[in-house]
Each structure stands twice: as structure tokens, then as C-alpha cells.
């Protein structure tokens, strides 16, 4: 099973999310079930399941996508899928960079730029949707005008 985690700057409709995921994964839009985290009506048999959560701050949505093993050909890597979604939806798409820093992400822009990003959780109260800020990016991202442009060090590097 392929798993993806995405954060988007803009909030596409569930229908647009389903169509974009279908295109990226090579399935029909009817084979993609998209629902927010409070929706009890799901097609649990769909080969692609996408749960989304509204966010506050610099990012609008968090997506968790599960792709059944029966989907073929093999789904693209998360980085490639993020670039394809960004182009299709016209929004910057972030995905985790992996490693030991939970704030480390990659940002994919609609025009094909891929750059490192640092995402900070501003939500200290626990009330309402999570609030996330994109604190820094390594390359300018037009949809994230408040993010500082600076080198983002990997874990284990000085700085």
C-alpha cells in the first residue's frame, strides 16, 4: 500500500482533489474517495482513500492518502506526486522530507519548483484546526510570501 501525506496552501474542493489524485495515480475519479475527517460516509472499498483536515495559518489542508496495492501501475513517489498535484491544482503542495526533524518538508510549486521548507506548528491551545506556519524555504515560493528564504540544514549538520 502506498501512503502519502500532503499539505496544501490552497483548499481545492473534494471533487478537484479526487480528479487530481485520479490523474496522478492513473485511476478513474470514481475510484477515489475523498472526505474530511468528520465525514462518516465513506466508500471503504475505493482503491484510493483520501482524508483531509482543514488547517489554519499558512496552509489550508492536510491530506492523508492511501493507495491500495491493486492500483497499477505502481503509484509515483511522494515527491513526484506532489509536483503533479501542484501543477494540476495550482497550489503549492508540501510533503514530509523524512529524517529526524518533524518540521522538515519539501515544497512543490505549480510551476515545477521543488525546494526544502520548514513547517512549524503554532497551535498551542489544541482548540480548533491546527495552525501551521511555513517558517522558511530555500527558494522563494510565491504562494508563501511570509516564509524567509534561507538555507535549511539537515539533521546532523552544524547550524
Query: Tens of pLDDT along 50-88?
Result: 999 999 999 999 999 999 988 888 899 999 999 999 999
Q: What Cα–Cα distance (Å) separates residue 126 from each residue in 52, 109, 121, 130?
A: 18, 30, 11, 7
- Is residue 119 helix, strand or coil? strand
Residue 9 CB neighbour total at 10 angstroms: 24
Global pTM value = 0.91
For the chain, the domains span: 2-149
- Is residue 15 helix, strand or coil? helix
Mean pLDDT of 30-59: 89
Residues 6+ apart with CB under 8 A from 48: 21, 22, 25, 27, 31, 32, 33, 65, 66, 67, 68, 71
Distance CA 103, CA 76 (A): 23
Residue 109 CB neighbour total at 10 angstroms: 24
Q: In the prediction, which pLDDT does 39 show?
A: 65
Query: Tens of pLDDT along 95-135?
Result: 999 876 888 999 999 999 999 999 999 866 667 788 999 99
Q: Which residue stretches of the chain are H helix?
A: 14-25, 78-89
What the block records as the C-alpha cell of 14 is 473534494
Amino acid at each position: 500500500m502506498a501512503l502519502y501525506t500532503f499539505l496544501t496552501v490552497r483548499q481545492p474542493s473534494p471533487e478537484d482533489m479526487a480528479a487530481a489524485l485520479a490523474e496522478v495515480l492513473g485511476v478513474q475519479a470514481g475510484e477515489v474517495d475523498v472526505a474530511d475527517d468528520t465525514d462518516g460516509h465513506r466508500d471503504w472499498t475505493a482503491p484510493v482513500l483520501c482524508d483531509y483536515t482543514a488547517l489554519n495559518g499558512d496552509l489550508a489542508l492536510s491530506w492523508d492518502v492511501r493507495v491500495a496495492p491493486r492500483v497499477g501501475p505502481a503509484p509515483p513517489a511522494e515527491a513526484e506526486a506532489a509536483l503533479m498535484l501542484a501543477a494540476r491544482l495550482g497550489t503549492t503542495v508540501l510533503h514530509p522530507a523524512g529524517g529526524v526533524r518533524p518540521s522538515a518538508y519539501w515544497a512543490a510549486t505549480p510551476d515545477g519548483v521543488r525546494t526544502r521548507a520548514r513547517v512549524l506548528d503554532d497551535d498551542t491551545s489544541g482548540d480548533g484546526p491546527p495552525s501551521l506556519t511555513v517558517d522558511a524555504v530555500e527558494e522563494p515560493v510565491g504562494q508563501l510570501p511570509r516564509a524567509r528564504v534561507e538555507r535549511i540544514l539537515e539533521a546532523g549538520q552544524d547550524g
